[in-house]
Amino acid sequence: MSKKVNIIGGGPSGLMAATILSDHKYEVTIYDRKPSFGRKFLLAGRGGLNITHSENEDDFLKKYGKAADIFKCIFKNFSQQDLRNWCEKLGENTFVGSSGRVFPKSFKASPLLRAWLFQLKKNNVIFKTNYNWLGWEKNKLIFETEKKLIYIDPFITLLSLGGLSWPRLGSDGSWVKILEKKNIKISKIQPSNCGFFVNWSSIFQKRFAGTPLKSVKVQFNKKKIKGEFIITKNGIEGGVIYSLSSILCESINVNGSAELSIDLKPDLSFEEIEKRLLKPRLKSTISNYLRKTLNLSNVAIGLLMEKQDKINYATLTPKELTLNIKNLNLILQKPFPIERSISTSGGVCFNSIDKNFMLLNIPNTYVSGEMLDWDAPTGGYLLQACISNGAYIAKSIIQSK
């Protein structure tokens, strides 16, 4: 088998495959449709690069849902600790934050990416920018450049073209139609780790857009998560919402909407809240009463008052009022546009590839990263999966020679 490899897509998965293959003296060329590499990787590190998570293997794998068994093999080959060790070899030591998330000590993506690309260039990896992949023609890869069409012998090819989120950075999903023409099964691609539209009143929207709702517990079906989220002009987004986005999207696809339950005071029991609300309200408005008695924030009170059935809280008994505080229901209409989502779910189905991630009906052509039909929350899980997937495929290519 040839030791020449074409990698199409310059994101983390493709770059890691190039790293391992070039370490083993493969001739690697990476093509990207944009003028630079790792653009989404840099975006992911804009607020601090969360490279992976430090939790134990079993809990880590659970975050990948139906694809957990597949990723078990992938992470056995390139684990969370392997990723941290690799960062350190590039001069970027890592640390574990209070939440268990792992970050480079610089807290930035750009130093790690610079060191990464420098190492690849030392390994004689060839970089081709502004090469837009159009598919295959006469058994050759075809690329569109600024000047002309370029035809390349496929040799070994790794497709690492990303999902559909943040298309301005290069991952616009144009590969879907290319692969479907080759009879490759692709499941519906939809937003993940995304926000959702809520039909706010104009008063609530104007007053609270951009305000975080902190220290709450959200529940959908049987899944409960404590944390915070942000009220936006048109809905809600943020950490706990992203964690539930996959099952929320599934419910909206089936039912047209999803009903989220919010506990506005998760640190107080039902009994304790009811007890505090037995205190006479006297002449206080209901808003001031809730603020003083329960230390509810303005946005939490505003959310209570926003209820669609327009409950008159001043007339409720302490028990009825407690029930609303501990179980506030919010109707989510649909996810924010895919362009605003952090990642996407869906993609190339696993029954279209073999155990080495090679397409069954296109020999010597592999698929990695967010192109595949899997999903995971934010918190380091997305990056770890993409990087480890690239490493796994590189190892498979090396072992198959």
* Confidence band, pLDDT 50/70/90 cuts, at residue 199: very high
327 lies in a domain?
A: yes
Q: Which residues contact 282 (CB under 8 A, 6 or more apart)?
A: none
Q: What is the 3-state secondary structure (H, E, C) of 228-265?
A: EEEECCCEEECHHHHHHHHHHHHHHHHHCCEEEEEECC
- Looking at the structure, do residues 145 and 225 belong to the same domain, yes or no? no
Query: Which structural domain range is residue 234 located in?
Result: 196-332
- Looking at the structure, do residues 227 and 317 belong to the same domain, yes or no? yes
Instruction: Report the C-alpha gap between 113 and 39 in whole angstroms.
Output: 10
Nearest CA among 97, 152, 96 for reference residue 126: 152
176 lies in a domain?
A: yes
Boundary of a domain, candidates 332, 358, 392: 332
- Looking at the structure, do residues 187 and 201 belong to the same domain, yes or no? no
Residue 125 confidence (pLDDT): 98
pTM assigned to the model = 0.90
- Looking at the structure, do residues 16 and 155 belong to the same domain, yes or no? yes
Boundary of a domain, candidates 311, 332, 353: 332
Length of the chain: 401
- Looking at the structure, do residues 162 and 226 belong to the same domain, yes or no? no
How many Cβ atoms are within 10 Å of 145's Cβ, its own excluded?
14
The alpha carbon of 64 is separated from its chain's Cα centroid by a whole number of angstroms, namely 11
Residue 46 confidence (pLDDT): 82
The alpha carbon of 274 is separated from its chain's Cα centroid by a whole number of angstroms, namely 39
Q: What is the 3-state secondary structure (H, E, C) of the chain?
A: CCCEEEEECCCHHHHHHHHHHHHCCCEEEEEECCCCCCHHHHHHCCCCCCCEECCCHHHHHHCCHHHHHHHHHHHHHCCHHHHHHHHHHCCCCEEECCCCEEEECCCCCHHHHHHHHHHHHHCCCEEEECCEEEEEECCEEEEECCCCEEEECCCEEEECCCCCCCHHHCCCCCHHHHHHCCCCCECCCEEECCCEECCCCHHHHHHHCCCEEEEEEEEECCEEEEEEEEECCCEEECHHHHHHHHHHHHHHHHHCCEEEEEECCCCCCHHHHHHHCCCCCCCCCHHHHHHHHHCCCHHHHHHHHCCCCCCCHHHCCHHHHHHHHHCEEEEECCECCHHHCCEEECCECHHHECCCCEECCCCCEEECHHHECCCCCCCCHHHHHHHHHHHHHHHHHHHHC
289 lies in a domain?
A: yes
Q: Which residues contact 46 (CB under 8 A, 6 or more apart)?
A: 109
Start-to-end Cα distance in the chain: 6
- Looking at the structure, do residues 152 and 67 belong to the same domain, yes or no? yes
CB–CB of 322/270 below 8 Å? Answer: yes
338 lies in a domain?
A: no
Instruction: Report the C-alpha gap between 112 and 104 in whole angstroms.
Output: 8
Using CA atoms, how far residue 362 sits from 1, 134, 366, in Å, is 15, 16, 9
- Looking at the structure, do residues 127 and 238 belong to the same domain, yes or no? no
- Looking at the structure, do residues 182 and 298 belong to the same domain, yes or no? no
179 lies in a domain?
A: yes
**pLDDT for 116-125, tens place per residue?**
999 999 999 9
Rounded average pLDDT over 281-304: 93
Residue 170 confidence (pLDDT): 84
Please tell me which residue, 222 or 217, carries the higher pLDDT value: 217
Boundary of a domain, candidates 313, 332, 351: 332
Residue 307 confidence (pLDDT): 73
337 lies in a domain?
A: no
Rounded average pLDDT over 347-367: 97
Total domain count, the chain: 2
Q: Looking at the predicted structure, is the pLDDT value of residue 350 above 60?
A: yes
- Looking at the structure, do residues 30 and 65 belong to the same domain, yes or no? yes
Q: Looking at the predicted structure, is the pLDDT value of residue 306 above 90?
A: no
* Confidence band, pLDDT 50/70/90 cuts, at residue 309: low
Residue 184 confidence (pLDDT): 97
Q: Output the six-digit token pair for 150.
A: 């370029």
- Looking at the structure, do residues 136 and 217 belong to the same domain, yes or no? no
CATH code at position 133 = 3.50.50.60
- Looking at the structure, do residues 170 and 252 belong to the same domain, yes or no? no
Least confident of 44-53, 84-93, 174-183: 44-53
